A = this chain, B = another copy of it.
Amino acid sequence: MPGQRTTATDVAKAAGVSRATVSFVLNATPGQSISDAVRARVLAEASRLGYMPHPQARALASGQSNIVLMVLPEWPIEYVTRQLLDEATVELDEAGYSLVTMDPRRSRRATPLWESLRPDVVMSIDPLAPKVLESIERSGAVVIKHGPEMLPMYRVGPDLQVGHLLNLGHTSIAYAHTPIAAMRDLDQERMSRIRRGAEAAGAAFRSAEVSATNAQEVVRTWSRAGVTAVAAFNDDTAAWTIGGALRSGLRVPDDLAVLGHDDSPIAAMFVPAISTIHLDLAGLGRALAQQALAVARGGAQPDIGDPFSHARLIRRESA
């Protein structure tokens, strides 16, 4: 069965031009002055024949795969990444690039996608481990590295959290650490922002890890120590904290105010509904896409700007 897949040669033949011309027209290669008539003919034949360029052949010839690989964070945050990836996907698509995502935990047990896909650029939300960086670079991909420009991500939320609790008049504030080890760095950063904010205002501060199993105990200890407000690492940690309070007979927020972070679905569903911090992830998605494009085109990695200028407090019931 000949003529299985439609190829550029088929289009060239049908349009009565050379394969090169087909390539020039379809890629809108700059510096080629092709007559409108020829261009139109090529385009018409390509669409009539249902021509789809073969991406692997293109990658081999051009040395570029036009793939951007996004390494997702270690922790589960579908609701956090959804918007971000939506925006980044569309932004990259318009420039002719495909965004592929990857779970770093899975890749630890399998060939990493940067080896088997050979993306031009690899990026991530969370900083990548040195070993991972090295492995990516050996594969030939450019890695987008996180510098201080990503710091707003770590700062804005906690600052809003502690500000809100202080505004509410609380003078003894606790921070609820996540028990999940993969989030340790982010967790430490958030804690120290809360601590700084509390201490700067003369409020008492303490912190402890809150998990599904110890929440009740931790909350009781805090309560006995006079803590009236908790800033949690995220909404899950907040939910556990509130659960511990309710099961200890404390009222939320009357006896203990609890403030989450991320505005994940659970925050709105919980009873009482969890007050939390909403970040502008669509904006971050666009910013990351712009960085990836600049780097893919051989440029320097541009500054990401301030993608969290639209972060805001969502006030619900818990604080």
Chain A positions within 8 Å of B, measured between CB atoms, are: 5, 50, 52, 54-57, 59-60, 65-67, 76-79, 82, 85-86, 89-90, 92-93, 98-101, 103, 105-107, 109-111, 113, 115-118, 138-140, 212, 236, 239-240, 242-243, 246-247, 265-266, 268-271
Nearest-CB residue, chain B, relative to A4: B140
Residues A118 and B56 in contact in the complex (CB < 8 Å), given A86-B105, A90-B110, A100-B100: yes
Residues of B within 8 A of A270 (CB): 239, 243, 269-271
A79 touches B76 (CB 8 A): yes
B85 touches A106 (CB 8 A): yes
Q: Shortest beta-carbon distance, A95 to chain B, in Å?
A: 11
Residues of B within 8 A of A54 (CB): 60, 118
In the complex the two chains form, what is the Cα distance from A113 to B113 in whole Å? 14
Residues of B within 8 A of A67 (CB): 116-117
Residues of B within 8 A of A240 (CB): 269
Residue among A5, A139, A242, A270 with the highest chain B CB neighbour number at 10 A: A270
Q: Shortest beta-carbon distance, A57 to chain B, in Å?
A: 5
Residues A82 and B93 in contact in the complex (CB < 8 Å), given A100-B100, A212-B269: no
In the complex the two chains form, what is the Cα distance from A118 to B184 in whole Å? 38
Enumerate 30 A-B pairs (CB-CB under 8 Å) in ascending A order: A52-B138, A52-B139, A55-B115, A55-B116, A55-B117, A56-B60, A57-B60, A76-B78, A76-B82, A77-B78, A85-B103, A85-B106, A86-B106, A86-B109, A89-B103, A89-B106, A90-B110, A92-B110, A93-B109, A93-B111, A98-B111, A98-B117, A100-B117, A101-B101, A117-B117, A239-B269, A239-B270, A265-B266, A266-B266, A270-B270
Residues of B within 8 A of A99 (CB): 110
Residues of B within 8 A of A52 (CB): 115, 138-139
In the complex the two chains form, what is the Cα distance from A106 to B55 in whole Å? 20
Tell me which of B76, B90, B98, B109 contacts A113 (CB under 8 A).
B98
Residues of B within 8 A of A50 (CB): 138
